[in-house]
Amino acid sequence: STGSLSLDIALGAGGLPFGRIVEIYGPESSGKTTLTLQVVAEAQKIGKTCAFIDAEHALDPVYAGKLGVDIDNLLVSQPDTGEQALEIADALTRSGAVDVIIIDSVAALTPKAEIEGEMGDSHMGLQARMLSQAMRKLTANIKNSNTLMIFINQIRMKIGVMFGNPKTTTGGNALKFYASVRLDIRR
């Protein structure tokens, strides 16, 4: 369950599907992390083990507790690089011991080469390639272990778009393709 009856009904399956990848995206301060923490709280209530990969290093345990999250039983990781975050997610998935994994956020999954490089270096497409490779690896493992993996993502403006929607999510197209559910959160 998402913790929201109307959202559970709209999703049709009584909440978010296990064994699948879900993307929750929207502008800043639209409630993306709040929604995922509610999912964690609901999952913990029915005895599920949850992990929060905090790539943004912004998880507020007090706020999470107020939403009903059992912080003492939440696995929290604050990785240094995007590769490290995705390796942790894959290891947790393959272990079969974790039911719900949250990755907050795709925008904060910075490739190691970008972190170690110079300030002005060009790293075009590096994050997209990293995510594309990870999705191919994660998808089968997620299905086999029946894990729910939620990626939180942000909206960016595409430069120079004359026609169509100038808004896009970060990290390339792989997540759009592999996500079974994509929730667009608005204020």
Tell me whether residue 187 is in a domain: no
Tell me whether residue 93 is in a domain: yes
Tell me whether residue 78 is in a domain: yes
Residue 126 near residue 113 (C-beta atoms within 8 A): yes
Q: What is the mean pLDDT of residues 132-151?
A: 94
Range of the domain at 60: 3-182
Tell me whether residue 177 is in a domain: yes
**Which CATH number goes with the domain that contains 19?**
3.40.50.300
Tell me whether residue 162 is in a domain: yes
Whether the pLDDT of residue 114 is over 80: the answer is yes
Are β-strands 20-26 and 181-184 bridged in parallel, bridged antiparallel, or unpaired? Answer: parallel
Pick 29 or 119 by higher pLDDT.
Answer: 29
Structural domains counted in the chain: 1
Q: What is the mean pLDDT of residues 129-148?
A: 94
Tell me whether residue 91 is in a domain: yes
| Alpha carbon separation from 36 to 110, 160, 165 (Å, rounded) | 21, 33, 26
